[in-house]
Amino acid sequence: MIACACSDQDWGPHTNMSTTEHSPSTATGSQTELEFLRLRVKELEKEIKSLNELVRTDGLTGLYNQRYFREALHRECERTQRSGDDFCLVLVDLDHFKKVNDHWGHEAGNIALKRTAKLIRATIRPTDLPCRYGGEEFAILLPGTPLMISVQVAERIRSTIAGAVIVIDDKTLTLTASFGVCAFQRNSTLSQDQLVETADKQLYQAKREGRNRVCYEPAKSHTRQQVSQSEKDMLSDLFGNKSD
């Protein structure tokens, strides 16, 4: 801790301090005070950092929570509009997870969720954003990653989850998951909510087709292919006939 005689109550303006009159002893006192304040600021910065972590993290799995997911989704959409790099949303839902709880108990279910989160994290890049979207559902944002690469990433996560044996005390259990993938491109017509709905639609397609699989929305299904007449008219007003 801090090598200073100041207590927490000392934090705040000091009315008995003069900045104009310096005797040797008060100068030393001010330096100590300044050093204390520097250390206190550092401590507060650390506290703010850990509070920020807490606010954006899911308590059970340590992945980002849904609140952070929404912020990150907004950021990635804006980045794509600016930079032109596609990003993808991968939704993951564990299959028949109710059976895990029913068979092994809620605590075993929690451990299975934690292990799954760890497997997901270990299978993606540090720059990807894995989130716990809901109970047994995860959302992963893959910045700067086009659709077919994202489908490969989803396939890799799928086979990692399916191949893992989760040991809880003397029990072993295996899990599978279904996946829905959707890309967001610069000329996408999708809103953020529509992007999530589209990935969700694909996820439920994967469930319908028998689970433990990856389904994806084909590229170009939600992109503006052509300049509309009203955009042509606007460009024409601005630049004459150059837009034709």
Ligand X SMILES: Nc1nc2c(ncn2[C@@H]2O[C@H](COP(=O)(O)OP(=O)(O)OP(=O)(O)O)[C@@H](O)[C@H]2O)c(=O)[nH]1
Which one, 65 or 145, has the nearer CB to ligand X?
Answer: 65
Q: How far is the CB of 53 from ligand X (least distance, A)?
A: 20
Which one, 140 or 147, has the nearer CB to ligand X?
Answer: 140
Which residue reads 């206190």 in tokens?
A: 40
47 a catalytic residue: no
Site string for ligand X, 114-153 (x = CB under 6 A): ---------------------xx-----------------
Binding region for ligand X (CB under 6 A) out of 17-25, 47-55, 97-105, 121-129 = 97-105
Which one, 96 or 232, has the nearer CB to ligand X?
Answer: 96
Query: What separation in angstroms does the CA of 108 have from each of 42, 56, 131, 179?
Result: 40, 25, 21, 23
Among 22, 42, 98, 171, binds ligand X (CB under 6 A): 98
- Of 76, 136, 137, 217, the catalytic one is 136
DSSP, res 124: S
Residue 49 CA, chain-centre distance (Å), reads: 17
- Residue 171 neighbours by CB under 8 Å, 6+ apart: 104, 108
Residue 207 contacts ligand X per CB under 6 A: yes
Separation between Cα atoms, residue 57 and residue 131, nearest integer Å: 8
Q: Which two tokens stand for residue 133?
A: 């979207």
Residue 69 CB neighbours (<10 A) = 24
Residues that bind ligand X (CB under 6 A): 60, 93-98, 101, 106, 109-110, 113, 135-136, 207, 211
